[in-house]
Amino acid sequence: MTKFGRIIHRLSEVDSTNNYASNLLQRNLAENGTAIVADFQTAGKGQRGNNWFAQRGLNLTCSFIYIPDNLSLNQQFLLNCWVALSVSDVLASFKIPNSIKWPNDIYVGQKKIAGILIETASMSDSITSVILGVGINVNQGVHEEERAVSMIHIKNESTDTNELFFALCSALQLRETQLSHPQELFEEFEKRLLFINKRFQFEQEHRVLEGILLGITPTGLLRIQVEEKEIQVANGEIKFLLP
C-alpha cells in the first residue's frame, strides 16, 4: 500500500492544508506520507504569497507530509520535478492533456488547471521534512482568474475528487523512486515544459523580451536563449507573457 494517503486528515474547512501540515510536524504528529484534504480553504496558499481561490467542495486541495531519506538542500528542485510530474501524470490518466509551466503550475493550453506549493525544513545541508501542497481545479465551472480552467471544462463531466486524490497518492508513490535518479526526473520535466524548444515572450525588469526556452539547470533555473546568448533565471525573475 502506498504510504501517501495511508493516514488522511479530512477537513471540511481549514485556513490552508499546508499550514495544517506544518502544525502536525511541529507537534510531532505526522508520519511520512500523511495527507491533509480539505473541502474548503479560507486562506489557500500559492507561490510567493499569492492566494489560491477554490470554491467549496468542487476541487482537490490537499497537502502531503514527506520525510526524505537523504536529500540535500541543493537538490530541492528535484521535489518540484517529482510532484509536478506526478500531477501531470494523474491529469493525463483522466484524459486531460497538459504541460508544466515552469516552475510548478500545470497548464492545459494557455490556462492553469493546477498549482503546487512545496515548503521545506532543513538542518545543516539536509532537508528534514517537506510539505507538498497541491491544488487541482476539478468541478468548478466559474473562475475569478481569466486564465484558469477546470477538468469539467475539458471532460464535459464531473470528476470524483476522492478518486482523483487516491490516483495522486499512487502517482507520488510511483515516481518517488526517481528522486534517486535525478537525470531521469530532469529530462522528463523538461520534455513536458510549456514552450520547450519554442519561442515565447516574457517580461524581465519591466522589459519585454523574446527567447527560446531551452530547459532547466539542475538547481531549477530556467534556461532561455535570447538572441545569441543563454540566460538563466530564477523563479520570480521573469513573467511569462502568454498569448
pLDDT at 47 over 80: no
For the stretch 157-173, pLDDT in tens is 999 999 999 999 999 99
Burial of 176 (0-12, 13-18, 19+ CB in 10 A): middle
Q: How far apart are CA 120 and CA 107, in angstroms?
A: 24
Average pLDDT over residues 43-51: 57
Fold for the domain defined by 8-191: BirA Bifunctional Protein; domain 2 (3.30.930)
Residues of the chain with CATH 3.30.930.10: 8-191
Fold for the domain defined by 199-241: SH3 type barrels. (2.30.30)
Angstrom CA distances, 133 to 15, 65, 82, 212, stand at 13, 9, 13, 30
State pTM to two decimals: 0.94
Rg (CA), the chain: 18
Residues of the chain with CATH 2.30.30: 199-241
pLDDT at 48 over 50: no
Q: Which of 233, 237, 230 is nearest to 222 (CA)?
A: 233
For the stretch 196-215, pLDDT in tens is 999 999 999 999 999 999 99
